[in-house]
């Protein structure tokens, strides 16, 4: 089992930045593909970004490309999401997730473990 705990959310003005962290426990993240998803009120949970175990590949939703950066520190068993140039439409609960094989990484059903989420609110 992998336990994931997100942190770093909060309230920020449009144009600001936040850095989310996802700390894993119970097992190392070796060989897991890690992803960030988000869910706004009344909407489906959507893919934001993903990173392979070796960090040699990253993928982003078009809506965040160029503004968000996903990274990981396997020694610390932690994944990060740096969010810059935030917009009100980025407001959501952000979830960290781990996938054993990463197949279909854009699909939330491909992930085996999830955190409880951290709220990000961007004011206009």
Separation in Å, CA 85 to CA 63, 110, 118, 119: 12, 29, 19, 17
Q: pLDDT tens for residues 52-97?
A: 988 889 999 999 999 999 999 988 999 999 999 999 999 999 999 9
**pLDDT at site 27:** 79
- Name the DSSP class of 13: E
Tokens of 58: 């990253």
Read off the pLDDT band of 124 (50, 70, 90). very high
Q: How many helices (H) and strands (E) does the chain have?
A: 0, 11
Sequence-ordered list of residues with C-beta below 8 angstroms from that of 30, at least 6 positions apart, any chain: 53, 74
């Amino acid at each position: 089992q992998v336990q994931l705990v997100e942190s770093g959310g909060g309230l920020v003005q449009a144009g600001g930045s936040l850095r989310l962290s996802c700390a894993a426990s119970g097992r190392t993240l070796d060989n897991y593909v890690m992803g960030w998803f988000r869910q706004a009120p009344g909407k489906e949970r959507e893919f934001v970004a993903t990173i392979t175990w070796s960090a040699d590949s990253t993928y982003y939703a078009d809506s965040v490309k160029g503004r968000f950066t996903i990274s990981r520190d396997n020694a610390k068993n932690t994944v990060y999401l740096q969010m810059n140039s935030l917009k009100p439409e980025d407001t959501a609960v952000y979830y960290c997730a781990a996938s054993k094989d990463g197949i279909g990484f854009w699909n939330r059903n491909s992930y085996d473990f999830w955190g409880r989420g951290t709220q990000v609110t961007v004011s206009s």
